[in-house]
């Protein structure tokens, strides 16, 4: 039976593999003309003037903060429900995170709760577009203007998302993107910082010039790992080999499927940026990015199509809370993120896996209540409840309408 649905299939293809092998054989891995070309093409795609490629989304955030020259110990507004590494980078940049609660329907920061957290020390807002859903940009911009705050736009999950026809990445003083393996545009890791402020981007580029090359062998290993992962998450291989193997392992080790999302405390509690973050973006990564950029809109459109179809199929299930579609918003949906009863969420994930649907609760946390960030703890009820309820359903572009029907059918059976 091929009715097994992987939680993701990385955005990869035979063209990427062919040109990647060619670059490796010709020795065009570390440096080359593709880096600048990818920076220019990506900036043009988003609609922003200047860009700087970097090693990861994490270092992109750190460099964005440092380039704004915010004073030490200044406060920055941060959504309470986010990736913990985001908070770690804020602390590494010597700022103090001030957690603000989220809207349950969009999972994004609630503009109505921002102003009550602003003080004389507040200098910036981290505007995150969570799960590919643009935040309430207009209201947040009004608040920033009123209080003379900088906006750092976190587009790590929102590459290609739009607010009133304008792509995310255009609305802050600086914006950053992440190109991790499971992103809708992936370059073996990597990231990009964008701004219409030429001086700011030049400052980031001057800083990255102090960094060092990635090791050739490491990049080659990552390239082949990505290719193998692409094959393993293809429908036939996943159904016939990977899913049965995971199913067997899960019987003896119940938490196996969440191992990939475990947080490493040593990575979150860092006080300064480690050396392995300080690497250059490579020519091989840029080559992959250029190829993927050509098909990004088609890839996003398929995710949107799958998501809307699945939402239509699930709309009658009262226990399942679906995201609300807003006028003027184009979300790109890395997953269909839904909410389910907290006390039954983990059981539903397990039962869906038995039926052949690989889904997860993800790696986002209510950071306001994490022990590591207890110094900055705040009561954020929505973030805390969403962490216990959230569930990611697969809608990636390799899936078809029949897969969405299969997912909906199994959920209906279990709820």
Closest C-alpha among 196, 162, 193, 163 to residue 178? 193
Q: Is 358 exposed, middle or buried (0-12, 13-18, 19+ CB in 10 A)?
A: buried
Q: What's the pLDDT at 406?
A: 95
| Separation between Cα atoms, residue 394 and residue 121, nearest integer Å | 41
Q: What strand order describes the sheet that includes 50-54?
A: 50-54, 191-195, 174-178, 150-154, 122-128, 75-79, 96-100
Q: What does the pLDDT read at residue 76?
A: 98
Residue 264 has what pLDDT? 62
pLDDT values of the chain reduced to their tens digit, one per residue, 415 residues: 567 999 999 999 999 999 999 999 999 999 999 999 999 999 999 999 999 999 999 999 999 999 999 999 999 999 999 999 999 999 999 999 999 999 999 999 999 999 999 999 999 999 999 999 999 999 999 999 999 999 999 999 999 999 999 999 999 999 999 999 999 999 999 999 999 999 999 999 999 999 999 999 999 999 999 999 999 999 899 999 999 988 888 766 655 445 544 556 656 777 788 888 999 999 999 999 999 999 999 999 999 999 999 999 999 999 999 998 899 999 999 999 999 999 999 999 999 999 999 999 988 999 999 999 999 999 999 999 999 999 999 999 999 999 999 999 999 999 9
Determine phi and psi for 389, rounding to 5 degrees.
-110, -20
Query: Judging by DSSP bridges, how do beta strands 390-393 and 336-339 pair with one another?
Result: antiparallel
pLDDT value for 259: 54
Q: Report d(CA 344, CA 368) in Å as an integer.
A: 24
Check residue 298 and give its pLDDT. Answer: 96
pLDDT the model gives residue 257: 44
Q: CA neighbours within 13 Å on the CB side: how many for 271?
A: 0
pTM for the model stands at 0.94
- Number of residues written out for the chain: 415
């Amino acid at each position: 039976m091929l009715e097994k649905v992987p939680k993701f299939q990385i955005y990869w293809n035979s063209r990427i593999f062919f040109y990647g092998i060619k670059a490796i054989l010709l020795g065009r891995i570390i440096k080359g003309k593709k880096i600048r070309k990818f920076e220019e093409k990506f900036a043009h795609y988003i609609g922003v003037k200047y860009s700087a490629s970097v090693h990861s989304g994490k270092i992109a955030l750190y460099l964005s903060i440092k380039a704004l020259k915010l004073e030490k110990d200044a406060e920055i507004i941060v959504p309470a429900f986010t990736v913990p590494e985001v908070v770690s980078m804020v602390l590494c940049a010597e700022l103090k995170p001030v957690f603000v609660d989220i809207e349950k329907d969009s999972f994004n920061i609630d503009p109505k709760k921002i102003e009550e957290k602003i003080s004389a020390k507040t200098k910036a807002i981290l505007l995150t577009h969570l799960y590919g859903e643009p935040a309430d940009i207009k209201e947040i911009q009004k608040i920033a203007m009123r209080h003379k705050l900088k906006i750092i736009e976190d587009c790590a999950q929102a590459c290609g998302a739009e607010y009133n026809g304008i792509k995310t990445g255009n609305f802050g003083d600086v914006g950053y993107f992440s190109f991790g393996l499971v992103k809708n545009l992936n370059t073996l890791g990597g990231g990009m910082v964008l701004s219409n402020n030429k001086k700011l981007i030049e400052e980031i580029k001057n800083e990255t010039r102090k960094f060092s090359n990635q090791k050739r062998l490491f990049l080659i290993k990552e390239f082949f790992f990505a290719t193998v992962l692409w094959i393993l998450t293809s429908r036939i291989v996943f159904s016939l080999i990977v899913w049965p193997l995971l199913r067997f392992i899960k019987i003896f080790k119940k938490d196996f499927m969440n191992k990939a999302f475990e947080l490493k405390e040593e990575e979150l509690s860092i006080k300064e940026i480690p050396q392995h973050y300080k690497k250059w973006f490579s020519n091989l990564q840029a080559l992959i990015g250029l190829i993927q950029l050509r098909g990004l809109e088609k890839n996003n459109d398929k995710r949107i199509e799958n998501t809307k179809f699945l939402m239509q199929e699930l709309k009658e299930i009262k226990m399942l809370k679906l995201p609300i579609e807003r006028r003027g918003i184009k979300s790109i949906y890395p997953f269909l993120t839904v909410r389910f009863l907290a006390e039954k969420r983990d059981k539903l994930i397990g039962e869906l896996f038995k039926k052949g649907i690989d889904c997860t609760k993800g790696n986002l946390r209510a950071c306001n209540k994490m022990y590591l960030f207890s110094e900055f703890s705040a009561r954020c009820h929505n973030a805390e409840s969403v962490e216990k309820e959230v569930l990611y359903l697969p809608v990636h572009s390799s899936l078809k309408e029949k897969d969405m029907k299969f997912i909906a059918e199994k959920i209906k059976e279990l709820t």
